[in-house]
Structure 1
Amino acid sequence: MKNEKKKHSALHEKDGISPPEIISLNAVEQIQKFRKKQLSSRELIDGILSGNIADLSRAITLVESTNANHLAKANEIINACLPYANESLRIGITGVPGVGKSTFIEAFGKYLTSLGKKVAVLAVDPSSTISHGSILGDKTRMEELVKDTNAYIRPSASGETLGGVARKTRETITLCEAAGFDTILIETIGVGQSETAVHSMVDFFLLLKISGAGDELQGIKRGIMEMADAIIINKADGDNIKKANLAKAEFNRALHLFPAKKSGWTPITSTCSAITHDGIPEVWKTIEQFLEFTKRNKYFFKKRKEQNQYWLLETINEQLKSNFYNHPEIIKLLESSKKAVSTDEISPFAAAQELLNVYQNYKKIS
């Protein structure tokens, strides 16, 4: 028995073979050196104005950051880029998930670059309310456009912003315009609330629809339908062409139920296929007609001024909210207020007022 060999379990793990060292120490040193190097505001500004995409991306990252140090640097860059902005056409594109927004944007973007346009796509990706992460997969979906030297695709996480518009999309538009992009396409996630925010930062609002999503009454969504400057029935190809034309007629009838737009423009309904590219040139022709019409009656410039005022107020609201929640005394008191509210010791409204009073008193002292 003493000489009996010890039996091994079927799950016994044999000693493996160590892989050879394949990491280049020189490469590691170069990467670490590159990561440590922080470009100055002036260097980033010069890079953006010269059309350097890497510097544009770095600046957008600073704009989207919640770091207080990054905020000051981002504001400096934005202010320096402002004189070179406002020369682009801003187009908002929305539609429910599954309508083919990414495929349409790729087809439309490729058509615009073939006309000599420089196109920037700002795609807002939804953030999880649980993990707070985002997939940011729009570049993967637009694999042809991403290789186009006259196109730039920037996916951004929606974060905590209601409805899915990235918190700093408005500032990102300014940077892209300063970098020389003359056509900005802003894609929303299409969940309902994001459309209002996008409409407040674009010149032309395009609503994508598909056939079979309901009758004309289903299409009457006050708000999004009233904001749309054009309704495009996508996926009008193959056996779906007849259904797409029927949907076009139904939406045309629905549009007559809405009051006239402030711009005086009558929204146009048409069909297209992002796969076959049929109808894509007609979409651009519609946008050109809209531009000519609204610039002639001065509405285009009036809307731009109203948008600037709107974002002034939005920025103030955002900054006040950020200052409140990051105040040291509020941070200390907020958790105890939450517990008091959850145990019904105090009403949510009274607790909120107490916190606001504390914040105001500390601001007076400081």
Structure 2
Amino acid sequence: MNSALAEELLGRRLIVCAGGGGVGKTTLSAALALFLARRGRRVLVVTIDPARRLAEALGVAPEGNRIVEATRTSAGGVLEAMMLDCRLTFDESLARHARSKEEFERVRTSHLYEHVATALSRTHEYMALEKLHELHHDGTYDHIVLDTPPTRDALGFLDAPQRMLDFCNERIFRWFVPEDEGSRLLRFGRERALWLLGRVVDQGNLGPIAEFLGALAGLFGGFRERVRDVQATLRQDGTTFILIASPGRSSMHEALYFGRKMRDYGLRHRHLLVNRVFDYPFSERPLPPLEALFSQTLGLGAARAGRLITACEKTHQRLADLARRDAEQLAALASALPDTMQLTSIPQLDLEPVELDAVGTLTDFLFGTIPGPGEEP
């Protein structure tokens, strides 16, 4: 059993699975969450994976921020899953920050809101953190596991709160606060902004646009505080990041760089999981004599038996080379990790899990009795 990883998970309420795209974060998030449920905990796993593989693996189809029970364990634990709806999360967040229901309705009913909300809800990284923060403070769950959104740049997830904060702090919004609010300087800035806006916008639309931006400025006031709360939550001792990579050289380099940046951000991370490691248990063993098998047992002629033996030897060598390549890359990665990080390798499965039993098999590899790469049964 990977006792260090188990202890880390059991001791943290928020578990963020992070890494580059295509490394198996979705499936591993489900496997970690299932382990916690098997220990009698109430667990929620959250994903915004557009392919919805996690929903298939858990046997549910969560949509629109709807939480669905995936399974109950013999230890009394419960595993639930939620597919994050980024647009709905954005709408709900702004509604909470509005000074009044009327203010939010004034923004929401504007034809401009659709464009702004759609653009901002596409910041999947921040919307995932927003929902994580909300669920954390709700207190329903012992643990929440977040499958971070697929992205070409894993660092985009770490930068998401600051990018959102920078957007909310844009000076243009301060120019459009209502006329009865703000200083004379702000009112002067508003008049100047309206004049500039009038140069490019039809005069008939100028009033509604100014009113929309003014109301949006009021909403973003509360939104800024929320973003700062999200940043603080990520740095709490009760939050841990689990880095996930694949054996490829670029994925491992990205994981090392990601880990360094996480230290710069002051985020807790103790474990790196390298997924889909190729394991060939016969890589260091020569093939047994095959002549008797092909010639005597199967009755093949010498020429045909010779061709089959050559093909088997080439296949054996190719598989052994793949296993040695992954083993060498894992060794190089392990030597580059700081002492505070533990590396765990996970074998490549024949098929990606698409049902709960298959996810359970992966959980067993990590915490149970099934041997991993290079281990004896």
TM-score, normalisation: structure 1: 0.41
TM-score, with normalisation over the residues of structure 2? 0.40
The structure whose RCO (Cα within 8 Å, separation 6+) is larger is 2
